[in-house]
Structure 1
Amino acid sequence: MTTPVAIVSALHEELAAVLALMPDEQQQTIGGRAFWRGHLHGHDVVAVLSGIGKVAAATTATALIERFGVQRIVFTGVAGGLGDGVNVGDVVVAQRFLQHDMDASPIFPRHEVPGYGRSTFEADAVITAQLVRASEQVLRALPSQLGTDVLNAFGLQAPRCHQGLLISGDRFVSTTAESLALREALPEALAVEMESAAFAQVCHDYGVPLAVVRTISDRADDAAHVDFPRFLREVASRYSSAIIDAFLTQR
């Protein structure tokens, strides 16, 4: 049996779009999590929801590695944009990860993870490059298929793929004050969410390659759009399934 690749989504709608691509998925429940084992484009795949927040994410990552023996993890989800030019409808492919709410000072420097001597963990370069190619391929083709009403509703214009620092924390960032504080403390951060840095730490511990792509749903500020369910349904879930499909069909 081939070693499986894990496909992880942050939200149900995104995972459902991925599961719709799998012809033979079988559900298995471990630790209160539903895992789906199946095949996609010749790959042995385990698909799962990460759960919300860093603890849920770490539990899911550990189960994928310990119980299913996955040797690659690809995470898709949404995030709030922070970096200049990171707009709604763009995607961010992470090169490294940081927990923005990690602060064990003055014993350790702010953001440093105690016991590791570091504040950031790296994405795997090989599968990240593959994910970038898949994302760029999708962004060239998919937005024009979304329809004028969707493009206008969310102001989607020439979406881009960004690469760099992705930050995570156990706080939903949705005010201008919070966003500005994060940008001041971490000026290299492109986007903020709640799970990826926890996945990165677990994958570092086990030596398992990780790549993460996040669709920008808002700017993590007071002007964040209010129709998140529609964005998730009509934009983010379609991005996720198309990017995973393109990723797994690369040769």
Structure 2
Amino acid sequence: MTALGTDRPRVRAILIAAMGQEIRPFCNRATDLGEVHAVGNAKLQEGRIEGLDVVLVRCGIGLVNSASATVAALHRWQPDIVISVGSAGGLQGKVKRGDVVASTELTYSTADAVAFGYTMGQVPGMPVTFSGDSASLAAIGDDDSVVAGPIASGDVFVSGYLLDNIIFEFPQTAAVDMESTAVAQVCHSYEVPFISIRGISDMCGQDASSEHDDNLDDVSERSANAVVRLLTKVNATTA
């Protein structure tokens, strides 16, 4: 674990999305938006949503982009929680297009060190899975628009051969994306609460890419709605 100092500005949440379309619903809700800080490939911006101080991060697509952006944000701000937002692919029988999924646990869909005694999906030296923030999951529990379930992440868009492997290796998985588990790993290392809240843009399969493009804006809005409801609810109960 890596401890961070407490001299950084305190914010309610760091909200991380891969693409501009995914972070835009939060920008549209935000007031007092500050200047954009460019750190590597990431764009970071302070603002306020429903009176809460937040940091909006557009990290870029993929595990490395999301991990490096998370590190940059955590070294600049001290959040109560980090939330991965935007879109994800869904697994048949677990969710449907338009659902919003909150991560109960997270793993890597393509990590394989089984030959050395590790569990499929586990990075050596890390837990078998990373847990979603329990307080957030409890607060989400009575939100009928959100499905709680496992999320798997990898640097491959799940539309073909990888789907069968995920179903076999991770049969409980509800959704897949290309960032959330990397953000979870960083937050685990820095002892910062984390959850992923993603809208299901497509059902993993041969039509996934076109479904994703068609539904990205809508599910990004749904993800943002769920996140804002969560933040305001938790803030009201702790005020």
Task: Kindly report which structure 2 residues correspond to 1:33-72, keeping only aligned pairs within 5 A, or say none.
Answer: 33-72=42-81
Q: Are 2:224 and 1:241 aligned?
A: yes
Residues 1:41 and 1:96: Cα distance change in structure 2 (over 3 Å)? same
Task: Kindly report which structure 2 residues correspond to 1:1-251, keeping only aligned pairs within 5 A, or say none.
Answer: 2-26=10-34, 27-109=36-118, 110-116=120-126, 118-133=127-142, 136=144, 139=145, 161-175=146-160, 177-224=161-208, 226-233=210-217, 235-250=218-233, 251=236
Tell me the amino acid that sits aligned with residue 111 of structure 1. G
SS of equivalent to 1:232: helix
Inter-partner Cα distance in structure 1 for 2:167 and 2:202: 15
1:228 shift after superposition: 3.3
Inter-partner Cα distance in structure 1 for 2:176 and 2:212: 16
SS of equivalent to 1:56: helix
Contact 2:137 2:148 in 1 (8 A): no
Return 99-108 or 185-194, whichever deviates more. 99-108
SS of equivalent to 2:117: coil
Tell me the amino acid that sits aligned with residue 168 of structure 2. E
Residues 1:30 and 1:131: Cα distance change in structure 2 (over 3 Å)? farther
Return 24-33 or 208-217, whichever deviates more. 24-33
Q: Normalising by structure 2, what TM-score?
A: 0.86
Contact 1:93 1:163 in 2 (8 A): yes
Contact 2:41 2:60 in 1 (8 A): no
1:87 shift after superposition: 1.1
Residues 1:241 and 1:111: Cα distance change in structure 2 (over 3 Å)? closer
Contact 1:128 1:212 in 2 (8 A): no
Inter-partner Cα distance in structure 2 for 1:162 and 1:246: 14
Contact 2:59 2:65 in 1 (8 A): yes
Return 52-61 or 224-233, whichever deviates more. 224-233
Name the Cα RMSD after superposition: 1.9
Aligned length: 224
Inter-partner Cα distance in structure 2 for 1:130 and 1:63: 28
1:96 shift after superposition: 0.5
Residues 1:244 and 1:186: Cα distance change in structure 2 (over 3 Å)? closer
Return 92-101 or 73-82, whichever deviates more. 73-82
Inter-partner Cα distance in structure 2 for 1:228 and 1:100: 19
Inter-partner Cα distance in structure 2 for 1:237 and 1:112: 28
Q: Normalising by structure 1, what TM-score?
A: 0.82
Greater RCO between the two (CA within 8 Å, min separation 6)?
1
In structure 1, stretches of 5+ residues that fail to align are: 140-160
